[in-house]
């Protein structure tokens, strides 16, 4: 018995030794087998330095793991340490229990080229394996209980070879206290990682394993935009993209649903800046904040609590063909694409109308806009600052939205505006009310010089515009007040408008100019260009003002415009009548009330008709003396009288009276009458104002105005020292 017991003891100890030996070498054997057969088991070659297992605590440890790329040379995924604290007996209950999971030093690299990734072969390999394994498998769900899951010091690299750019997430860490198959509480996971070029992201993820409902909260701080520059580059011609992003976002969804999660939260962007290919900043903002009340992309619904932009900067450059924003964002290419067919257009229109948006409050403060163009051949630069804009209740369902804006023009002029529009048809239904004060007229010198041949030297402008577009019908009421305006005439000008004289005529006794420019048009007419329409209307107002100056001057002296536009005589009158003197008095008043106004009286008369009238009067006087009858009333008897004295009837009455009166004598008398009229008017003007600058001169004999004219003094107005009509 003693011998048998001794043998049994030896056998048992030997078996125990073998078992212990097997258990000791089993991890190494498993490591060797897994590494050697990893292409068949995992689809890739792997390396593993150590594999250990504590049979007393059921804890497995792996060190120095590497999974290589498909070429077997470059690392794809690696980690320093993996620790699993298992409860293996629960596997007999169809339940996986992990009491601890710790992974340190994970490093993974994902490479994208065209539309393929460096893990596509793994997806194909494991998809095939899963299909084979699931044939005949039980549909009973496997239970699991995962506790204390932790990831430390992980790094993730995303290499986008399409744009030759790498994004790196560094020092990723997260902790999940518990995840279970049938737990009543939501599982919760926390993760945090730093970005290589600054900033970090941390998240808390809560999941209900039963329903699939999840709630993911993301906290982003100091995320630099510069690493994403190359992702924007294919869509925008830019050199730099700068700024930092902070955000608190909450995503709520369900893993079992194909719907996208609903997003809420807020986003802050600081020191945002974009430069063009010439390294010129064209868009920027010191601070932008958006509060997202609900973003539901499934319902195409976007609700923002507020959008606030502080200290923004915009550089806008316009030329005759396009502008810098169209070029930078390649909108010219989009505009040049072929038109879609009718069916596509209907679908796009339907999608557009389904968009739902709400912005409860929009605010812009401290904005700056630098505008430049070269439309006239010379650079025109304009600076808008202290721009502020506010609006409330901007919605896709609203029929009308109102916005309020203020800004400073070129560091001095103030603009206040109110804009109302239909957000669904803002091109054809729009109202705006603009008021500008202390706008500097010299800022417009380039344009006035180019288009009108004038430079605006000085003057403050006050401008009000009330515009209304209703179903495409445009009505604009422009009111312009210019204080202390003065102009300098230069040569040329595309339209060479007589702006200086027009401004002079429009200037009141206080030195102010008041001008109304109403504009009307049909925007549905493809030939209508609003800018050209406004300019044409302004040009017509200026032209009409200069063409009929008496309409503006008569207000200074009262009466009929005809009283100050011309003074008429009868052919037989050489002495002014009381009416003529009243007209001269008004001209003297105008000269006094409108300093700088040049008044010239140009004398026109048809000398031939005047000679004929004088000849009739001379012969008529003889007729009166001999017959005691009026030749103007007794025309037949007068004609018989003339024929009797002429001795034959080969002349008509006009020729006959000239022969009887004597042509040379009548010519002399006619000139004497003209000279006397001019002298009489000139003497009266000098008698009542010896320093008057009103001039009287005969009209150019070649002027067509002489033909058929009664004796007439046409009053011409201009600026002193200016050539008439300019």
Q: Cα separations (Å) of 183 from 174, 209, 210?
A: 21, 7, 8
Residue 345 is predicted with a pLDDT of: 46
Q: Looking at 155-164, 186-195, 204-213, 293-302, which range is the least confident one? A: 186-195
Nearest to 498 by CA among 457, 548, 458, 534: 548
Check whether 333 has a pLDDT greater than 70.
no
Domain boundaries, the chain: 398-546, 548-726
Beta bridge partners of 276: 238
Most confident of 483-497, 549-563, 703-717: 703-717
pTM beyond 0.85: the answer is no
Q: What is the DSSP letter of 662?
A: -
Query: What per-residue confidence (pLDDT) applies to 410?
Result: 85
Question: Chain-wide mean pLDDT for the chain?
Answer: 84
Distance (Å, rounded) from C-alpha 157 to C-alpha 231? 15
Summarised one tens digit per residue, pLDDT across range 617-656 is 999 999 999 999 999 899 899 988 988 888 776 788 888 8
State in Å, rounded, how far the first CA of the chain is from the last one.
143
Give the list of residues 6+ apart from residue 52 with CB closer than 8 angstroms, or none: 27, 60, 61, 62, 63
The better pLDDT of the pair 308, 318 is held by 308
How confident is the model over 345-377, as pLDDT tens digits? 444 444 444 789 999 999 999 999 998 887 766
Scanning 566-662, the segments in alpha helix (DSSP H) are 578-593, 607-627, 635-646, 653-661
Residue 279 has pLDDT above 60, yes or no: yes
CA distances (Å), 85 to each of 49, 50, 92, 143, 144, in order?
20, 17, 17, 17, 14
CA atoms of 681 and 36, how far apart (whole Å): 125
The answer to whether 325 and 294 have CB atoms below 8 angstroms apart is no
Q: What is the pLDDT at residue 458?
A: 62
Exposed/middle/buried for 473, CB within 10 Å: 0-12, 13-18, 19+?
A: middle
In the sheet that 712-719 helps form, which strands lie side by side, from edge to edge?
566-568, 712-719, 597-604, 695-698
Closest CA to 567 of 602, 613, 594: 602
DSSP states along 77-140: EEEEEEEEEE-GGGGGGTEEEEEEEEEES-EEEEEEETTEETTHHHHHHHHHHHHHHTTT---S
What is residue 342's predicted lDDT score, i.e. its pLDDT?
Answer: 45
- Cα dist. 293→68, 259, 296, 446, 457 in Å? 45, 19, 10, 48, 53
Q: DSSP state, 652?
A: -
Question: Is residue 173's pLDDT more than 90?
Answer: no
Residue 506's Cβ-side half-sphere holds a number of Cα atoms within 13 Å equal to: 27
């Amino acid at each position: 018995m003693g011998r048998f017991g001794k043998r049994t003891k030896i056998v048992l100890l030997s078996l125990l030794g073998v078992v212990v030996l097997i258990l000791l070498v089993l991890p190494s054997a498993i490591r060797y087998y897994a590494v050697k057969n990893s292409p068949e088991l995992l689809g890739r070659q792997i390396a593993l330095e150590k594999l250990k297992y504590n049979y007393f605590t059921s804890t497995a440890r792996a060190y120095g793991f590497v999974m290589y790329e498909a070429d077997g040379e470059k690392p794809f995924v690696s980690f320093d340490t993996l620790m699993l604290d298992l409860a293996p007996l629960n596997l007999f209950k169809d339940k996986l229990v992990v009491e601890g999971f710790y992974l340190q030093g994970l490093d993974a690299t994902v490479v994208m080229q065209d539309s393929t990734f460096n893990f596509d072969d793994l997806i194909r390999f494991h998809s095939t394996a899963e299909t084979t394994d699931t044939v005949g498998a039980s549909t009973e769900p496997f239970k699991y209980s995962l506790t204390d899951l932790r990831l430390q010091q992980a790094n993730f690299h995303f290499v986008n070879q399409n744009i030759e750019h790498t994004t790196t997430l560094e020092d990723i860490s997260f902790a999940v206290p518990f995840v279970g198959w049938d737990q009543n509480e939501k599982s919760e996971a926390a993760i945090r990682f730093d970005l290589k070029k600054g900033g970090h992201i941390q998240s808390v993820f809560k999941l209900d394993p039963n329903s699939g409902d999840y709630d993911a909260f993301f906290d982003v701080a100091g995320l630099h935009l510069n690493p994403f520059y190359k992702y924007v580059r294919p869509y925008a011609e830019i050199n730099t993209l700068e700024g930092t992003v902070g955000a608190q976002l909450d995503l709520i969804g369900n893993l079992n649903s194909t719907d996208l999660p609903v997003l809420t939260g807020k986003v802050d962007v600081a020191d945002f800046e974009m430069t063009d290919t010439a390294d010129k900043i064209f868009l920027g903002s010191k601070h932008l904040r958006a509060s997202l009340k609900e973003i539901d992309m499934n319902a195409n619904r976007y609700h923002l609590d507020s959008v606030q932009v502080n200290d923004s900067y915009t550089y806008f450059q316009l030329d005759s063909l396009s502008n810098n924003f169209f070029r930078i964002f390649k909108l010219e290419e989009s505009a040049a694409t072929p038109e879609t067919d009718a069916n596509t257009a209907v679908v796009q229109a339907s999608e557009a109308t389904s968009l739902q948006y709400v912005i409860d409050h929009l605010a812009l403060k401290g904005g700056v806009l630098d505008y430049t163009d070269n439309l006239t051949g010379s650079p025109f630069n304009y600076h808008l600052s202290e721009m502020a804009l506010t609006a409330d209740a901007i919605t896709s369902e609203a029929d009308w939205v109102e916005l309020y804006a203020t800004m400073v023009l070129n560091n001095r002029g103030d603009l206040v505006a109110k804009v109302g529009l239909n957000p669904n048809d803002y091109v054809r239904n729009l109202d705006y009310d603009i008021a500008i004060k202390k706008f500097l007229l010299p800022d417009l010198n380039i344009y006035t010089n180019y288009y009108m041949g004038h430079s605006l030297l000085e003057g403050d402008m006050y401008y009000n515009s009330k515009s209304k577009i209703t179903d495409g019908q445009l009505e604009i009421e422009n009111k312009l007040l210019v204080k202390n305006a003065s102009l300098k005439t230069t040569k040329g000008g595309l339209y060479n408008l007589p702006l200086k004289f027009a401004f002079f005529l429009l200037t009141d006794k206080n030195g102010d100019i008041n001008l109304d420019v109403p504009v009307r048009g049909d925007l549905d007419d493809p030939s209508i260009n609003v800018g050209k329409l406004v300019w044409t209307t302004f040009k017509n107002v200026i032209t009409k003002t200069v063409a009929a100056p008496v309409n503006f001057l008569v207000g200074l002296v009262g009466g009929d415009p005809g009283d100050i536009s011309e003074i008429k005589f009868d052919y037989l009158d050489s002495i002014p009548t009381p009416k003529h003197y009243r007209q001269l008095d008004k001209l003297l008043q105008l000269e006094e009330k409108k300093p700088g106004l040049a008044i010239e009286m140009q004398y026109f008369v048809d000398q031939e008709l005047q000679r004929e009238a004088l000849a009739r009067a001379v012969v008529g006087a003889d007729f009166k003396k001999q017959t005691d009858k009026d030749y103007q009333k007794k025309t037949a008897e007068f004609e018989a009288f003339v024929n009797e004295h002429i001795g034959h009837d080969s002349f008509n009455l006009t020729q006959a009276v000239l022969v009887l009166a004597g042509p040379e004598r009548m010519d002399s008398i006619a000139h004497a009458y003209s000279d006397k009229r001019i002298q009489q008017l000139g003497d009266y003007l000098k008698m009542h104002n010896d320093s008057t600058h009103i001039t009287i001169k005969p009209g150019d004999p070649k002027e067509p105005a002489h033909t058929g004219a009664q004796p007439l003094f046409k009053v011409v107005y201009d600026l002193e020292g200016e050539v008439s009509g300019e």
